């Protein structure tokens, strides 16, 4: 099938195109209306269709003779354990867990927060919610109590599903104190927490609130698959916005299931029985889409890995897992390969393993820098596919479509728009620009199935943040250009979001935490280039008048504040005291120039600047501290 033909069909006749894709999944009631506006005027797919996402991921395969095929492989170097689940076993575990939730009063539409390490019970919890039509909201295990509390208050869950601990290489992270602190901080009171006790470290349960997961499960009856509407929410996943309050990206059931099935074939070239490994975490969108839902809906085997690319135990673990399970498609963030490269520059460890089943390496989550791309190509000798997407879309906006018509790669490009995505580059007035001209990357409406229809509990924020800027377009928040061959080049965010080791973080949120310190009058947090993590945050701090603090002590306190309130995952390690922050005459901090200075990039002094001399001072301060 030619890419051009498929892409054009998706843009010219979206309803016919997506009806054909929708016919490939098993509906309880087939949709007759393919695309319609909802009460908010938002395009919705398959509006009168009915289905169940967990059924598609599990029962469907059992009923079609794949019950004995391995559905999920758990590989945990941090605990030294491995376990496999066939489709039958996983279906049974999910049905019982769904029954356990129902017994706690969880009903269709209720929210359940899943705050879990990378153990199979995390996937089981997600699928169990889907089975009974409850809405899961997974919170990444590396987030601190305050972040969990914010999500509790926004999602208002009936139940929280969690574990006694997570394991970071050789460090045990106790979850119970984090859970207790978050529940204390939150205004919404959660009546029930189901706690999975791990052998590594168990925890005491709070009586009247906490239940032992395994014990409760023993008494649970399996629950059947509920029938949900295509437009009913499957999950809410919080992601960083430009303000301190994260945004709850809503994913519906119908469009998501169709998009997951389609993308497994077209983007990743995965067929029934193939082994797919997304080396990420269920706390991120990659984990939702490509550890849990898509591989299972496609009838593949998914690898569930509790470890790091390095140090668990060494930089050969990716290659070991690929050999051991016959991985055909490996998906990870570029930072993971940079970490491997740092420890094993000649990739000697890969030579120890048989990688003959590995067909393609996929990367996303942050910019793929050419040296990392070249290194993987040189040593692994497989196609490397850079593809670009975001929590909001749930699947690739652009990539090199391995199941369609793979094409020649251009350095620095994420290749071509995926079918369904009418990608346009707009100028500041919202007019499409010419080829090779930079602008804001936007998607002409309608968005394809799978993309968000709203922000949980805050539709105005969805409209204001994504749709309100340019009439008829969704803005991605990334800037870039399309070249003469319609290849897309993503140049980075146009807002204050940074990508640290493939993790999306808000500098605005870090600024709120830093500014909360009693000595700080004002601050700016910017993304500074990091060879390993892509970007790392740097705080520039202006002290309150008359405050006298030692810079090193202040830095340590600020680092601890960010760890306590956002989490270690923010990788906030550097803060410097400055005498002034560059501002416009109307008082807005000029963060872009600060980024340019910290990254040794050329910049032009903005005409709106209040006091240009301030820039030289910042340059000097950062240089003197070795921060540029
Ligand atoms: N629970 C608790 N803490 C966590 C955590 C979790 N799930 N995940 C990360 N952290 C902690 C780390 O232990 C570390 O703590 P420290 O500052 O006390 O050492 C901190 O958060 C930063 O973590 P990370 O950015 O992962 O750095 P690292 O040095 O431990 O590892 C890499 C570096 C590159 C190996 C790692 O970032 C990695 O594997 N990246 C891939 C990311 C990825 O898959 N992203 C998903 C998008 S596809
Ligand atoms: P997240 O929502 O966490 O997946 O982060 C999405 C953001 O990560 C995007 O808006 C981009 O800024 C960045 N991103 C993701 N994939 C890529 C990629 N392949 N190339 C460049 N940036 C990327």
CB atoms within 10 A of CB 626: 7
Q: Is the pLDDT of residue 61 over 90?
A: yes
Which burial class, exposed, middle or buried, applies to 437 when counting CB atoms under 10 A from its CB (0-12, 13-18, 19+)? exposed
CA neighbor of 452 nearest in space, from 463, 438, 441, 439: 463
Over 90: is that where the pLDDT of 57 sits? yes
Distance from the alpha carbon of residue 48 to the mean position of ligand 2, in angstroms: 32
Residue 310, ligand 1, Cβ within 6 A: yes
What is the per-residue burial (b if ≥16 Cβ within 10 Å, else e) of 345-360?
Answer: eebebbeebebeebbb
Give residue 496's pLDDT band: very low, low, confident or very high (50, 70, 90). confident
Predicted confidence at residue 26, as pLDDT, reads 98
- H/E segment holding residue 20: helix 14-22
Section 325-351 average pLDDT? 98
Please give the share of the chain, as a percent, with pLDDT higher than 90: 98
Tokens of 447: 């968005």
CA dist., res. 470 & res. 430, Å (int): 5
pLDDT tens digits, 364-386: 999 999 999 999 999 999 999 99
Q: Is the pLDDT of residue 410 over 90?
A: yes
Å from CA of 611 to ligand 1 middle:
39
Q: Give yes or no for residue 244 having a pLDDT over 90.
A: no
Residue nearest to atom 13 of ligand 2 (CA): 366
Quick one: which atom of ligand 2 is closest to the CA of 391?
A: 2
CA-CA distances (angstroms) from residue 515 to 219, 372, 538, 583?
49, 36, 13, 17
CA angle, 313 as apex, 125 and 560 as ends, to 5°?
70
pLDDT (average), residues 119-127: 99
Q: Residue 154 — very low, low, confident or very high, per pLDDT cuts 50/70/90?
A: very high
Res 6 pLDDT > 90:
yes
- Cβ-Cβ contacts under 8 Å for 501 (sequence gap 6 or more): 333, 335, 366, 532, 533, 534, 569, 571
3-state class of 294 per DSSP? helix
Residue nearest to atom 48 of ligand 1 (CA): 333
pLDDT for 471 equals 96
pLDDT class for 519, splitting at 50, 70, 90? very high
Structural domains of the chain ordered from first start: 413-493 (2.30.38.10), 501-624 (3.30.300.30)
Task: Tell me, using a 6 A CB cutoff, whether residue 316 lines ligand 1.
Answer: no
Structure tokens at 415: 């290749």
**DSSP element (H, E) containing 305:** strand 301-305
Non-local CB neighbours of 418 within 8 Å, separated by 6+ positions: 7, 263, 266, 267, 395, 396, 397, 398, 399, 401, 448
Query: pLDDT tens digits, residue range 347-358?
Result: 999 999 999 999
> Rounded CA gap, 453 and 460, in Å?
12
- The per-residue b/e assignment along 172-206, b for 16 or more CB within 10 angstroms, e otherwise, is eeebbebbbbbbeebeeebebbbbbbbeebebebe
Nearest CA to ligand 1 atom 3: 142
User: Quick check: helix, strand or coil at residue 505?
Assistant: strand
Write down the pLDDT at residue 245: 86
Distance 421 CA to ligand 2 centre (A): 16
* CB of 499 shorter than 6 A to ligand 2: yes
Residue 251 has pLDDT above 80, yes or no: yes
**φ, ψ dihedrals at 361, nearest 5°:** -110, 125
| Residues forming a β-bridge with 527 | 537
| Per-residue model confidence as pLDDT tens digits over 211-242 | 999 999 999 999 999 999 999 999 999 999 87
Could you write out the DSSP letters of every residue in 31-45?
Answer: -S--EEE-TTS-EEE
C-beta of 571 in contact with ligand 1 (< 6 A): yes
Rounded mean pLDDT, 130-145: 98
Determine if ligand 2 sits within 6 Å of the CB of residue 504.
Answer: yes
Residue of 501, 510, 567 best suited for mutating to test ligand 1, as the one with most atoms within 8 Å of CB: 501
pLDDT band at 434 (very low <50, low <70, confident <90, very high): very high
pLDDT of amino acid 562:
97
Distance 142 CA to ligand 1 centre (A): 8
Q: Which ligand is nearest to the CA of 504?
A: 2
The C-alpha atoms of residue 460 and residue 418 are separated, in whole angstroms, by 28
Structure tokens that stand for 153 in this block: 């208050």
pLDDT band at residue 575 using 50, 70 and 90 as cut-offs: very high
Residue 91: pLDDT over 80: yes
Report whether pLDDT(418) > 90. Answer: yes
Quick one: average pLDDT of 392-418?
A: 97
Do 590 and 609 touch, CB atoms closer than 8 A?
A: yes
Instruction: Kindly tell me if the per-residue pLDDT of 435 is higher than 80.
Output: yes
Distance 365 CA to ligand 1 centre (A): 14
Verify cis geometry, omega within 30 degrees of 0, for the bond prior to 313: yes
Q: What is the pTM of this model?
A: 0.97
Contact 565, 571 (CB under 8 A): no
Atom of ligand 1 nearest to the CA of 166: 1
At 419 the pLDDT is: 98
Q: What is the pLDDT of residue 18?
A: 98
**285 CB within 6 A, ligand 2:** yes
pLDDT at 241: 85
**What mean pLDDT do residues 92-119 have?**
98
Give me the residues paired with residue 362 across strands: 331, 385
CA-nearest residue, atom 4 of ligand 1: 142
The answer, yes or no, to whether any atom of ligand 2 lies below 6 A from the CB of 414, is: yes
Average pLDDT of every residue of the chain = 97
């Amino acid at each position: 099938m030619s890419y051009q033909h498929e892409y054009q069909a998706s843009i010219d006749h979206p309803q016919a195109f997506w009806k054909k894709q929708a016919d490939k999944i098993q509906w309880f009631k087939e949709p007759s209306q393919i695309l319609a506006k909802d009460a908010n005027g938002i395009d919705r797919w398959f509006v009168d269709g009915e289905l169940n996402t967990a059924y598609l991921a599990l029962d469907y395969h059992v009923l079609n003779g794949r019950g004995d095929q391995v559905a999920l492989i758990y590989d945990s170097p941090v605990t030294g354990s491995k376990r496999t689940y066939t489709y039958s076993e996983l279906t049974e575990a999910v049905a019982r867990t769904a029954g356990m939730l129902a017994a706690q009063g969880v009903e269709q539409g209720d929210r359940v927060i899943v705050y879990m390490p990378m153990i199979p019970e995390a996937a089981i919890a997600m699928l169990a919610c889907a089975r009974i039509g409850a809405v899961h909201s997974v919170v990444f295990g590396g987030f601190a109590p305050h972040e969990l509390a914010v999500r509790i208050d926004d999602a208002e869950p009936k139940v929280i599903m969690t574990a006694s601990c997570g394991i970071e290489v050789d460090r045990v992270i106790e979850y119970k104190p984090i859970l207790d602190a978050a529940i204390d901080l939150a205004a919404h009171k959660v009546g029930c927490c189901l706690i999975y006790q791990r052998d590594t470290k168990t925890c005491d349960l709070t009586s009247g609130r906490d239940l032992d997961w395994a014990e409760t499960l023993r008494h649970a009856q399996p629950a059947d698959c509920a029938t949900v509407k295509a437009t009913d929410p499957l999950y809410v996943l919080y992601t960083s916005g430009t303000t301190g309050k994260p945004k709850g990206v809503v994913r519906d059931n119908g469009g998501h299931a169709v998009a997951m099935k389609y993308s497994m074939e077209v983007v990743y070239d995965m067929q029934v029985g193939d082994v797919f490994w997304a080396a990420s975490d269920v706390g991120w969108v990659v984990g939702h889409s490509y550890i849990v839902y898509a591989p299972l809906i496609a009838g593949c085997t998914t690898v569930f890995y509790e470890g790091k690319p390095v140090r668990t135990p060494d930089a050969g673990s990716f290659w070991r897992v690929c050999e051991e399970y016959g991985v055909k498609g490996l998906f990870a963030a570029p930072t993971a390969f940079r970490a491997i490269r740092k420890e094993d520059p000649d990739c000697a460890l890969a030579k120890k393993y048989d990688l003959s089943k590995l067909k393609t390496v996929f990367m996303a989550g942050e910019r793929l820098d050419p040296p990392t791309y070249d290194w993987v190509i040189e040593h692994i000798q497989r196609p490397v596919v850079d593809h670009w997407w975001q929590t909001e879309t749930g699947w690739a906006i652009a990539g090199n479509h391995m199941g369609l018509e793979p094409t020649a790669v251009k350095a620095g490009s994420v290749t071509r728009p995926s079918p369904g995505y009418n990608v346009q580059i707009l100028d500041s007035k919202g007019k499409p620009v010419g080829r090779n001209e930079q602008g804001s990357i936007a998607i002409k409406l309608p968005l394809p199935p799978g993309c968000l229809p709203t922000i949980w509990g805050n539709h105005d924020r969805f409209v204001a943040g994504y749709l309100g800027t340019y009439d008829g377009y969704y803005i991605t928040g990334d800037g870039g250009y399309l070249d003469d061959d319609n290849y897309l080049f993503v140049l980075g965010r146009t807002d204050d979001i940074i990508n640290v080791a493939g993790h999306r973080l808000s500098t605005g949120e870090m600024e709120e935490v830093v500014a909360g310190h009693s000595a700080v009058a004002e601050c700016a947090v910017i993304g500074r280039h990091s060879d390993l993590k892509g970007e790392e945050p740097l705080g520039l701090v202006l002290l309150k008048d008359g405050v006298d603090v030692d810079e090193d002590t202040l830095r340590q306190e600020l680092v601890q504040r960010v760890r306590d309130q956002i989490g270690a995952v923010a990788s906030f390690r550097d803060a410097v005291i400055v005498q002034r922050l560059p501002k416009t005459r109307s008082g807005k901090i000029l963060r872009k120039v600060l980024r340019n200075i910290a990254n040794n990039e050329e910049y032009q002094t903005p005409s709106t600047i209040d006091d240009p001399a301030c820039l030289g001072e910042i340059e000097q301060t950062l240089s003197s501290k070795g921060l540029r």
